[in-house]
Structure 1
Amino acid sequence: MGATPPDPPPPQPVVPAWRRRTRGEVRWPVLVAIGVAIALQVSLPDDLTPQPRYLLPAVEALLLMVLLVLNPRHIVRASGPLRIAGLILIALVSLGNGVAAAQLVDLLVTGGLGQTGGGLLWAGASVFLTNILVFALWYWELDRGGPAMRASGDRQFPDFLFPQMATPHIANPHWEPRFADYLYLSSTNAATWGPADTLPLTRWAKLIMLLQSAISLVTVALVVARAVNILG
């Protein structure tokens, strides 16, 4: 009888995409989100926008064009100037929405906002939606050092634990977090005032989610209460 063939080697475990070097994600979903946030800021009434009214959106649009021209496709390498420009852009959008939220709360409490019920609901919805977009951008830009660092696979310890990371045996090995995942995280945190299926692991992630929940809670509670009072 011939020799028994050796057993085949056991299959090697597949390293999930979020733990190894990948091609990197495309930038256009982020650019679209920033463009929508700028449009929402422009739609707000004068009482809720920093003055001069169009200065901040114009600077934001300029930085958006710079990012679009310099790196419109895949984010595969860390570039100091590009990362700084991206962080400045997100910070400016955050500043504009922070001013709008503070002004909205102040005018609602003092009764100085001369808006109809429908107009008030639109102003509150604009601040609320921009809040979701802004924090989604922060989560996307800061988790594990940003999109370029995530694509390099150098940072193995995540700031946010997505379900695919906790259950790799039922997840596609090619899955890695994209902007849509951070947008979903921001949406659920704003709507439920707490994490849904994605958990913050680091202290900064917990604190920034706490800040977003507080802004969302105050905005929704005051706007809805005031609008119901007007419409009633």
Structure 2
Amino acid sequence: MAYQYRVAATERKHQRHPGEPRLPAALAVLVAIALYSLLPNKLLIVPRLAVPGLELLLFIPLVAANPRRMTRGNRELRRLAIALVLLIAASNGVALVLLIRQLVGGHGQDDPATLLMAAGQVWLTNVLVFALAYWELDRGGPVSRTQVARPRLPIADFRFPQDEDHDAVGEVAKRSSEKSGWAPGFIDYLYVSVTNSSAFSPTDTMPLSPRAKILMGLESVSALVLSVLVISYGVGQLK
């Protein structure tokens, strides 16, 4: 009986949720598109505006469906959102490979400042795209996390501190998932991505599913490789 009461209370909390704001994730997408469009020609394999134009074509219907808050979702919109993330990831992955070739091959000697700036753009885009991937995949995506009752949510890919804080001191427990109906938003996944890319390992949020572990591993390795090469390249320019 007590369990049924907790389930009903959790369902009521989710039914009252207005939906996650669209703006943070939308800004992340726009920043990622802008960063790619500003890369030097050496890191592009197609016309400069081809990839950003395609990304915007995928992005516009997603914003039109949920312009202010993430409340509407269906299979087509979800596929479109995942396709957008994959396109941003693929284009930045190609830029990362080309950047590594420039750094290792010594082809950037003529303009090291531009190459180092491009490395920063690729790193930041990497952080944004993995944040978007975590945000889209965990617990069925942003619409599912706030509009579906917790007992019926898909299995979690990540375990946040709020998922375990229900038995902490009162002022902490009030923010827990169980007592407040809290659900992670884009800023939470952005923080996970930033810390994973900086520390090269999870910090306070743990990956649970194989796909989450693979994604976090890929982000850590790519950030580590890029950091090592950039530092080595920078030291070489001082000689």
Aligned equivalents of 2:101, 2:229: Cα separation in 1: 10
Equivalent-residue separation in structure 2 for 1:93 and 1:115 (angstroms): 29
Residue identity opposite 1:189 in structure 2? N
Cα distance between partner residues in 1 of 2:227 and 2:51:
25
Runs (5+) with no aligned partner, structure 2: none
For 1:69, the aligned partner's letter is: A
The equivalent position to 1:29 in structure 2, one of 24, 30, 36, is 24
1:125 pairs, out of 120, 145, 148, with: 120
Judging by fraction of residues, say which structure has more helix.
2
Distance 1:70 1:157, change over 3 A: closer
Q: CA deviation at 1:76?
A: 2.0
Change in 2 beyond 3 A, CA 1:16/1:224: farther
Q: Is the 8 A contact 2:32 2:125 kept in 1?
A: yes
> TM-score when scaled to structure 2?
0.85
Question: Residues 132 and 228 of structure 1: is their aligned pair in 2 closer, same or farther, counting only changes over 3 Å?
Answer: same
Q: Which amino acid aligns with 1:209?
A: M
Q: Return the alpha-carbon distance in structure 1 between the equivalents of residues 109 and 58 of structure 2.
A: 33
SS of corresponding position for 1:206: helix
The amino acid of 1:102's aligned partner reads V
**CA-to-aligned-CA distance 1:94-127 (integer Å, 9 cap, x gap):** 1110000010111211222345332222111101
How much has 1:174 moved relative to structure 2? 4.2
Deviation readout 1:113-142 (Å, 9 max, x if unpaired) = 345332222111101000000000000000
| Structure 2 CA distance for aligned equivalents of residues 38 and 91 of structure 1 | 13
1:179 maps to which residue?
186
Bigger RCO (CA 8 Å, 6+ sep)? 1
SS in 2 for 1:51: coil
Which of 179, 196, 215 aligns to 2:203? It is 196
Matches within 5 A, 1:1-232: 20-21=14-15, 22-151=17-146, 152-153=148-149, 154-155=152-153, 157-169=155-167, 170-171=172-173, 172=175, 173-232=180-239
| Alpha-carbon separation, structure 1, partners of 2:10 and 2:24 | 23
1:84/1:226 CA distance change after superposition, 3 Å: same
CA distance in 2, matches of 1:179, 1:82: 17
CA shift, 1:199, in A, is: 0.4
1:63/1:89 contact within 8 Å kept: yes
Q: Which runs of 5+ in 1 are unaligned?
A: 1-11
Q: CA deviation at 1:190?
A: 0.2
CA distance in 2 between counterparts of 1:75 and 1:220 reads 35
- Deviating beyond 6 angstroms after TM superposition, the runs of 4 or more aligned structure 1 residues are none
Q: What are the superposed Cα offsets for residues 148-200 of structure 1, whole Å, 9 maximum, x if unpaired?
A: 22121321632101011111242421422000000000000000000010001
Q: How far does residue 50 in structure 1 lie from its aligned partner after superposition? A: 2.7
TM normalised by structure 1 equals 0.88
Structure of higher CA gyration radius:
1
Bigger Cα displacement from structure 2, 154-163 vs 182-191? 154-163
Contact 2:138 2:156 survives alignment (8 Å)? yes
Q: How big is each residue's C-alpha offset from its partner over 1:4-41, in whole Å with a ceiling of 9 and x where there is no partner?
A: xxxxxxxx769568x94433212121110000001111
